Every structure is written in structure tokens, then in C-alpha cells.
């Protein structure tokens, strides 16, 4: 079972993609799109400020919007690799080795939602699960 070390590394120089429902939820909370997001090509991503996610509280070492965090942050360190066509574990996560197949199954509905919101459900039949 995945055991998060709460090291905050995944909130450092984040490249987390935001889906439309993330943007809607965060703007509804009063955050301004231009403050927390950047547009890179077709994708919207979390903005980094001084090397950390806009929402990361460096003093408290915690996410300031944990309950409302983006879907990608909820499934991390499990990611969809669009180059390799697989669902895999980010090896950058220091606790990557603790992720088990049941963790992947647990987040499948969220992964499906992310792909649906990004208009990528057509790739689902091609996706493999690669734990290591």
C-alpha cells in the first residue's frame, strides 16, 4: 500500500496538469486563474512560484488546498504516461516502491475522469499498467 512520506517533493517544480473541473473548483474558491495556472500548448498546468507549486505552504510543508487539490495530485504518484501509453508510478517519488496494484485500481475512476476531461478516452484501450 502506498505510504506517502509527506516530503513535499511532488509539490516542487510541479508539472501537474489541471483538468477543467480543477480550474472551475479552484476559481470558485476565489483563486485567480492567472495566479495558480500556466498554459503550455494545449495543457493547463499548476504554476510554480520560487520553485514550488503556488498552493504549497513552505513553512507548514503542506498543501493549502489539500481537500480541494487537483485530480492529478490525488492520484499521484500514479501517472498516465502519454508517450509510453501506460499507467505507471513516477520514479521521482521517494515512496514509489510502496505503490501496489491495488493503489492503481483504487484511483482508476479518477484516472478515467482525468482522461475524459482531457478528451483522451480513446487511448484507454491501449493503456498498460506498469508498476516498476
By CB under 6 A, is residue 87 in contact with ligand SF4? no
By CB under 6 A, is residue 19 in contact with ligand SF4? no
Helices (runs of H) and strands (runs of E) counted in the chain: 4, 10
Query: Of these, 11, 75, 104, 127, which contacts ligand SF4 (CB under 6 A)?
Result: 11
- Per CB under 6 A, contacts with ligand SF4 among 45-74 are 46, 53, 55-56, 63, 65, 69-70, 73
CB of 56 to ligand SF4, least distance (A): 4
Relative to beta strand 86-89, strand 128-130 is parallel
CA separation for the pair 122, 58 (Å, rounded)? 39
Contact 80, 87 (CB under 8 A): yes
**61 vs 128, beta carbon nearer ligand SF4:** 61
Amino acid at each position: 500500500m502506498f505510504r506517502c512520506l509527506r516530503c513535499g517533493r511532488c509539490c516542487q517544480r510541479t508539472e501537474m496538469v489541471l483538468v477543467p473541473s480543477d480550474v472551475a473548483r479552484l476559481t470558485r474558491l476565489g483563486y485567480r486563474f492567472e495566479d495558480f495556472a500556466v498554459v503550455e500548448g494545449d495543457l493547463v498546468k499548476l504554476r510554480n512560484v520560487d520553485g514550488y507549486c503556488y498552493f504549497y505552504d513552505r513553512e507548514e510543508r503542506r498543501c493549502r488546498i489539500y481537500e480541494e487539490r487537483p485530480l492529478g495530485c490525488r492520484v499521484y504518484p500514479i501517472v498516465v504516461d502519454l508517450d509510453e501509453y501506460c499507467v505507471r508510478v513516477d520514479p521521482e517519488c521517494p515512496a514509489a516502491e510502496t505503490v501496489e496494484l491495488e493503489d492503481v485500481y483504487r484511483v482508476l475512476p479518477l484516472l478515467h475522469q482525468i482522461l475524459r476531461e482531457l478528451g483522451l478516452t480513446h487511448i484507454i484501450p491501449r493503456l498498460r499498467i506498469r508498476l516498476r
